[in-house]
Amino acid sequence: MSSPSSLEKTRLLLLSIFFSPLVIFVDADNFINDIDVNWGSPNVRFLEEGNLLTLSLDKNSGSGFQSKNEYLFVKIDIQIKLVPENSAGTVTTFYLSSLGQNHDEIDLEFLGNLSGNPYTLHTNVYAQGKGNREQQFKLWFDPTKNFHKYSVIWNPQNIIFLVDNIPIRELRNKEYIGVPFPNKQAMRVYSSIWNADDWATMGGRVKIDWTKAPFTASYRNFNADGCVWSSATLSSTCASMVTTSAVSGNQWQIQQLNTVSSRRWLKWVQKYHMIYNYCSDYRRFPQGLPPECNH
């Protein structure tokens, strides 16, 4: 895979200046108020009065949290500093998911590595229990040195994945050609760190070095701007998704990658940093690529 040109590097530098991952969101939610620990509570720590949270993995257990609210469409932002140095065999996740066999899910999984190797960001989308829509990327920075912002925009038109405000993936709603899209089940936000050394690093060939434990990921500036779902009334706080959302300040409800700048950045990431795309895997789909890949 070729390296970015000097022009592309300059563009990335300019974007990092204007959209610094170190910016503090004044309206960020507080972890104490907005999440529940759902796994491995001894390995979860609330710091800085709930504005910072850490998840750890040791030989006894991993750990995780979930949002108190469920959402039927949402824009999620969170800043994460991943496990430093030798994190081989570990997986740190940040995702949305409903419950049940035919669940919907929007995944970001950070696959650990030996010290000095780039992290792999694994993405996938499930609709009605069916996934198999993976794309993987090598991040263009060291995600263990500083906090970086990871975002998901989920609205009726599409799902957009962003890293430091740079779009890395777009999945459009293509129900019109019979492709399921997650738009009927409410989802919570989840995050976890766990032992996946049977597959996470070099196909499972590199195992966890437990002498390096505990493995700790840090989180801050969690912000959920979404349509909160009520199981009691079977309705959300968003009455409708119409163009007036842009006027009311909820642009994410109708946001798409339809500007020259956003399309350029998406193309840049996918050209230089994508390492796997299911829509290019003819060996995996010998009878033909999934229909959304050709539309």
48 is annotated as an active-site residue = no
Catalytic option among 48, 85, 105, 175: 105
For the chain, state the CA radius of gyration: 19
Catalytic option among 109, 134, 170, 175: 109
Catalytic residue numbers? 105, 109
